[in-house]
Amino acid sequence: MSALLFFKEGDGFRKKDYSLLKVQCEAFAGMIFINPDPNAEPLREKLGCLDGRLENFPLGEMQLLGAQSYDLDCDWKLLAENFMEWYHVAPVHPELAKFSTPDKHFMHEGSGQFVGFKTHPVTNCGGPADTDLFHPTPNTNSYDQETAFFYHLFPNVSVTIYPHSVYTLVMLPTGPGTCRETLYLLQHPNSRLESDSDEVFQQKVDNLMKFVTKVNDEDIDIVNKVSKGLKNRTYRGGRFSPDMEMTCYRFQNMIADSMVDRNLVFPPSVTDYYEHVYNPSKAQSVIPEEPAGMFIPEMEPEPMTYTLVEVDENSGVAKVVMEDISASHTIVQIDPESDSIKVVELGEALSNACENAGVVECASENVEAGGTIV
């Protein structure tokens, strides 16, 4: 019920003082973006050169052909990374690999908060995405009409631009390790062939929708397996493929910067984060200079530890007396009468401690970190 039924202007009540919260609202690539931060810079400035790249595509005139939503038990960032790398395409997407072949994938970066790559040229293979099934999107040139463009708008929107259609993936976190993904398939009305009857055109649209949702279903299956693997506590990370995962490297650095509130527009190419983004003037330094307003905690060195072992001189059998002796005070002394143990300093006390402990042989004072004192 409206508050105006109970409050009147002029009685100390001003409607504008109790309005809904204001948000920034912008349209881009046929989508509406809302930002609750009133001080945020315009979206187009954040996206850098991507605004210019897409300005000739009439994405705002596209019509919705279909949509599909998924509730998933995986982190949304895994979906994003899966979209932007292509070494999985051949084994995971056999039909897509015929149309958008992995060997014709190339980076397509630029300045801005996005990750880009492309397939040029796409290959007509008798599939539902072939370029001759529809007219190309209006306003595109001959290069566009044989190229698939892939852009991930940071943080959570992926856009695939085929010569005749577009599909987007919107990834929204719903909780720790869960998310909701929605796929939208769009096409400009002028892409329909004049010779197509309603029935023929609808069949083409249905086949195209089945094609893109099948690709996405295959992605979800592999992402679920990756998510399960990441939860294995023995996993310690891997290496990026420099040819097929530079996109993920760029994306992960955007994530890291956003977590420490570093508001950046990324340069066209990021092959070395410290050189190109973090601190170009100190690129050769082991520890880059700390940027203004950012705190980097000092990392404590890993403590050196030792193990004290007692060896029976008759049998030669070794017995561990104490493990994880810290290098900061680093030796123990064992009283043979009471079997009591106390920590003493390195140096001259080392040989005395070993002798009093009844060990057969004593290591030198310069024992290496992580070694064994016998």
Short-list 113, 112, 116, 110, CA closest to 85: 116
Choose the weakest-confidence range: 120-129, 159-168, 364-373.
364-373
The confidence score (pLDDT) of residue 305 equals: 60
Record: fold of 59-230: Naphthalene 1,2-dioxygenase Alpha Subunit; Chain A, domain 1 (3.90.380)
pLDDT at 341 over 60: no
pLDDT confidence band for 101 (50 / 70 / 90): very high
The confidence score (pLDDT) of residue 13 equals: 78
The confidence score (pLDDT) of residue 73 equals: 94
Element (H, E) at 307: strand 305-311
pTM exceeds cut of 0.75? no
pLDDT at 18 over 60: yes
pLDDT confidence band for 309 (50 / 70 / 90): low
Q: Which residues contact 12 (CB under 8 A, 6 or more apart)?
A: none
The confidence score (pLDDT) of residue 111 equals: 93
pLDDT at 109 over 50: yes
- How far apart, in whole angstroms, are the C-alpha atoms of residue 230 and residue 235? 7
Collapsed DSSP state (helix, strand, coil) of residue 30:
coil
- How far apart, in whole angstroms, are the C-alpha atoms of residue 314 and residue 13? 97
pLDDT at 311 over 80: no
Q: Which residues contact 70 (CB under 8 A, 6 or more apart)?
A: 180, 181, 182, 183, 216, 220
Choose the weakest-confidence range: 102-111, 308-317, 330-339.
330-339
Instruction: Write out pLDDT tens, residues 206-263.
Output: 999 999 999 999 999 999 999 999 888 888 888 888 888 999 999 999 999 999 888 7
Domain edges within the chain: 59-230, 305-373
| Rounded mean pLDDT, 57-66 | 96
